[in-house]
Chain A
């Protein structure tokens, strides 16, 4: 059996006890990747075998000397390809960064490396994290390991598929509008987006700066809590990093939801939600109820405004953030041009894919003079009202339970033609990004096609612990 069938913490324990070595784990991981990649295509870059094994050997020495004691010391990890990794190609799955080798490493990745994790590769994603299917990648679509005719979700589809296919035990993803939670849901694994400001964004190639957060994708809630604990940090290199002294998330791994007040937004369970997904969720809610949680339906309101507000804000920020890709300092530059402006335009038009161009255009429009107030400012006001709706809900409830996605994973090639339809698939996930809330996706059964369904638990800002405790309780109660 491949070692990648274990959870990251289980594998870490085996390495710490000397049952296996970090080098064996790394070798086994690369073998699993070689075996699965032709079917899954979860990676843009798999690191050179010699350098991975050498790194694992260095880590093993530190474990032997007692210098490295972290629970993931020696455990192989895959990183979403929008996080900078020194000397390892970092493409954002875009042609425009197809030759970019960063001179520095993202803080979250540094945290993992300091804890002894061994990077084995960079995972596929929607180009610049713009998409919900991983089909907008310049490097081809990733397939869902549960059904290879279907998408893994996105944008962190490569990370979720790599974990689900047993290519790695865990991976990092990033979440701007659901990009950790939705692929985790579609691939039957666990993913958590922490409160905005908890994990440093330094070295994460920016899409929507006010929305982006890095988080773990793993096989269970315990792994997610442990990894999140490791990557959370206060970082002066990220001006929106938040100083917290409560990131000991593993202390929340308790099988106990007694007395927890959980709200079920009636507006999330109406039309538009697949009936089998709905049933799986309500069954999952019943499990929490049977363990002593108090469940109550309530009207969250304003849910239909979250997606329009989100797409205005995200596109506006993207149009600004992506202006740095101009063919001057790094990345792709067009072959022929007559002057500077033509060089910019041709470089960008050839370097970006369709979905990225769509969002840059929309963002440029909503920020343009004459439309700024009507669109961008209006969206920021809507965001305020949405925050008020959540504040009101969290005045009554400790957690909100809901779907991650209206349906299970769609078939490959069926999503990109109608952008608005694809955006509406994000209806349950975007609010957490708009207002910074922590949220987890936990597998809660399968539909009649055998495809995984995810349950989303959303908590108050800075209250990951309640989210983790409830998710852990559900997982423990439903383990076979």
Chain B
């Protein structure tokens, strides 16, 4: 199982997870993932042929409603928590 999480795979997962791991932390993450995957591989012992994947359990149906706006203009309240803002907008580094 350990072979699944090689250097390239760890790099790929870091991109998906938007995490940057370096040095010791990277090695630790690799070893932890190996342990966790070895453990969850236990599921391979379970015969699931013909079994449907179960997503939700209490027989809910889709709930439809009219698409009416009910909340007011919370712009200032929302922006209060922004790490950086400008002219009533969130500010982020240049994207291009």
CB-CB under 8 A for A375 and B40, given A338-B93, A419-B35: yes
State whether A196 touches B81 (Cβ < 8 A). no
State whether B12 touches A308 (Cβ < 8 A). no
**Closest approach, in angstroms, between the C-beta of B29 and any C-beta of chain A?**
6
A418 proximity list for chain B (CB < 8 A): 35
State whether B40 touches A308 (Cβ < 8 A). yes
Q: Which of B33, B38, B51, B93 contacts A361 (CB 8 A)?
A: B33
**Closest approach, in angstroms, between the C-beta of A351 and any C-beta of chain B?**
10
Query: Which of the listed residues A312, A326, A375, A381 has the most CB atoms from chain B within 10 Å of its own CB?
Result: A381
The tally of residues in B whose CB lies under 8 Å from a CB in A reads 52
**Closest approach, in angstroms, between the C-beta of B13 and any C-beta of chain A?**
5
State whether B36 touches A345 (Cβ < 8 A). no
A333 proximity list for chain B (CB < 8 A): 83-84
CB-CB under 8 A for A361 and B19, given A305-B43, A382-B43: yes
The tally of residues in A whose CB lies under 8 Å from a CB in B reads 73
State whether B19 touches A339 (Cβ < 8 A). no
- Cα(A364)–Cα(B33), bound, Å: 11
B65 proximity list for chain A (CB < 8 A): 236
**Closest approach, in angstroms, between the C-beta of A279 and any C-beta of chain B?**
29
State whether A329 touches B43 (Cβ < 8 A). no
Please count the residue pairs between chain A and chain B whose beta carbons lie under 8 angstroms apart in the complex: 171
State whether B54 touches A345 (Cβ < 8 A). no
State whether A328 touches B92 (Cβ < 8 A). yes
Considering only residues 25-78 of chain B, those with a C-beta below 8 Å from chain A are 25, 28-29, 32-33, 35-44, 46, 48, 51-58, 60, 63, 65, 74, 77-78
* Chain B residue at minimal CB-CB distance from A344: B18
State whether A242 touches B58 (Cβ < 8 A). yes
State whether B80 touches A101 (Cβ < 8 A). yes
A368 proximity list for chain B (CB < 8 A): 12-13, 16
State whether A195 touches B93 (Cβ < 8 A). no
State whether A384 touches B29 (Cβ < 8 A). no
State whether B43 touches A387 (Cβ < 8 A). no
CB-CB under 8 A for A327 and B83, given A242-B60, A419-B35: yes
State whether B81 touches A364 (Cβ < 8 A). no
State whether A103 touches B18 (Cβ < 8 A). no
| 13 additional contacts (CB under 8 A) given A329-B82, A348-B17, A382-B46 | A311-B36, A319-B17, A333-B84, A340-B92, A348-B18, A357-B19, A358-B29, A375-B40, A375-B43, A382-B43, A387-B57, A420-B38, A423-B39
